[in-house]
Amino acid sequence: MALLLAVVMYVWLVLPSLHAASAPTADNYAHEKDPNFWYDLAEKELQATLRAKQQGVAKNVIMFLGDGMGVSTVTGGRIWAGQRLGLYGEEHLLSWDKFPFVGLSKTYNVDRQTTDSAASGTAFLCGIKTRQGMLGLNAHAMRGNCSKADGNEVECILNWALTAGKSVGLVSTARITHATPAAAYAKTPERNWETDRDIPESEKKCKDVAYQLIMQNPRIQVLLGGGRSFFLPEGVADPDPDPSFAIDDASRTDGLNLVEEWKKEKRNNGFTHSYVYNRDGFDRVNPDETDYLLGLFNQEHMQYEAERNKTKEPPIADMAAKAIRILRRNPNGYFLLVEGGRIDHANHKNHATKAFAEVEAMDRAVQVAKELTSDRDTLIVVTADHSHVLGIAGYASRGNPITGLSVVDGEIEIERTDDNKPYTTIVYGNGPGWTADPRRNLTKVDTTVVAYTMDAAVPMSSETHGGEDVAIYATGPQSFLFTGTHEQNYIPFVMAYASCIGPYAKEKLACAKYEIKEKTRVAFNDPDAASLARRIGSACSSNIVLPSVEILVVPIAVTLVLPSVEVFMAPAAEVWTINLKTLAACGQSKRSEICRSPFVVSLNLPQKLSPSLR
């Protein structure tokens, strides 16, 4: 009896429910037969796109990176998540599916058609393409060669944000020293030099990634992820050891306890700080009273969401929320990178169900971020570093379990191949799921279980990345700039442009906030409404943002999108709607409440200005 109770408790605590709600019936979808349903749906989407806000300045930027989350993984994850809600699944929308602007990112790097996470991370965080396996270095450096690294380091968006006085944070379900988060701060010719024991004696001049994070990047305020063993020296007991993990393969040989070094630096500088290593400690952190947070929740990567011990590790949504609540205390704003790192690892194993569970977890994280922020001052970008060779095959019926066998006409007919055996809807181009002839018969196999290894066409111990373009989903200020097909290194330039940092810092008058077109130079310190309207005119287009706005007492940013002008100031306490004459009156009466309050003003301009305003 005690054994049975223990098993029940394990299942409840460790394994979240991965079973779908009761399957829907065809009657639930009868409305889809009506053409008007599709007409109305398309019209709603069109109107939503037309209403999409796309201008203004991003005080905050949050980048969600699904490692290996190619379009097919997004599609499979969407269907899987929808089926867990009791839907057919195909009609379901992930949080980023609702974003108004979508583009494509070309992921190749300088020396490979198909990139790895280090080179791609350097592209979407540092703005340059580089060689496979290198972090924060341009292509003049050589992989694994420390002497070639000197002088080839590049600045990344984390540095741009810090220079602008913003707060920065990194969250990952992988090791916090793994390729994607490391690309934000590390400069190394070899991504695998995560701890000092990984570096060959001949290359010891280079510092390992964990050392660089703690000793050379002290102003990163939030660090949440795995990889705890890389920060602890040999002989120091882990606070929450995993018996299956060989700590001697990762612990430091230089005697440095980087966790204690992190604590000491924060104490010496008078910062409130917390180091946590489990769910309980994490939950007890008060974001309103914490300047710096270091959370290392596993000796290695954090657990897969489908296998996560809920008492030991927080979900990615909770980590993202805590990070936002800490970083948003900075009045200058923040940059936050959140990586769903284990999508990639699951795909490498041909474990599609695990990969889709990771997508669903990141979906919740993005939704939480949307709820904690505003489109008026926060740009949110969701993308991937690369794809995988995951395919969605066959002609299965609507609502067929996405990780199940391909079935048509409900449960009546299993699709079969030329060898008269069934196959799964999810297949991989290569990987450990390959089996020798004769191909395995899946007729009585439950392929929906968490650790099931999907079929692969080519035998490989680890499935490879895919080289096709990946999607970029964006919402918030300047998000429309992601529309189209772009090189992957374009991404950080848009984020910098939207937030006036790095190459587009304020003094250069070149970013979203200070863009002044040749025919639309406007001085808002003119209190006369007629003169103001005449200067704006009806032929203006694109962004107009002004460095001096004395009329409103406080600095604001202005964007003109005919037939309206929107005036932004963050944080926006309230929303006001006023006309041009009211705006002009602010210059004459600074005692007016509307002139003193932080606000967002919407000025509706007619296509043809009335005579009184000319």
* Residue-range domain boundaries for the chain: 52-389+470-507, 390-463, 529-613
465 is in an annotated binding site: yes
Least confident of 94-98, 379-383, 513-517, 604-608: 604-608
Indicate the pTM of the whole model: 0.81
351 is in an annotated binding site: no
Q: How many CA atoms lie within 13 A of 193 on its CB side?
A: 28
348 is in an annotated binding site: yes
What residues are paired with 576 via a beta bridge?
601
* Residue 303 confidence (pLDDT): 97
Q: Is residue 223 scored above 80 in pLDDT?
A: yes
Catalytic one of 95, 105, 117, 479 = 117
| 117 is annotated as an active-site residue | yes
**In contact, 114 and 173? CB cutoff 8 Å:** no
Distance from first CA to last CA of the chain, Å, rounded?
87
Which long-range contacts does 245-251 make (Cβ < 8 Å, 24+ apart)?
A: 245/299, 245/300, 247/299, 250/195, 250/197, 250/299, 250/300, 251/195, 251/197
Least confident of 32-46, 324-338, 347-361, 505-519: 505-519
| β pairing state of 387-388 and 465-466 | antiparallel
* Residue 101 confidence (pLDDT): 95
Residue pLDDT, tens place only, 167-192: 999 999 999 999 999 999 999 999 99
Query: What's the token pair of residue 233?
Result: 């020296």
Q: Say how far apart CA 181 and CA 185 lie, in whole Å.
A: 8
Query: What's the token pair of residue 375?
Result: 């489109």
386 is in an annotated binding site: yes
Q: Is residue 352 scored above 90 in pLDDT?
A: yes
Residue pLDDT, tens place only, 385-441: 999 999 999 999 999 999 999 998 765 678 888 888 999 999 999 999 998 778 889
* Residue 78 confidence (pLDDT): 98
196 is in an annotated binding site: no
Which CATH architecture describes the domain 52-389+470-507?
A: 3-Layer(aba) Sandwich (3.40)
Instruction: Tell me which DSSP letter residue 224 carries.
Output: E
Least confident of 279-283, 409-413, 568-572: 568-572
345 is in an annotated binding site: no
Separation in Å, CA 270 to CA 217, 222, 325:
17, 16, 20
Separation in Å, CA 373 to CA 294, 311, 368, 376, 455:
23, 28, 9, 9, 41
Q: Say how far apart CA 228 and CA 126 lie, in whole Å.
A: 26
Least confident of 375-379, 394-398, 523-527: 523-527
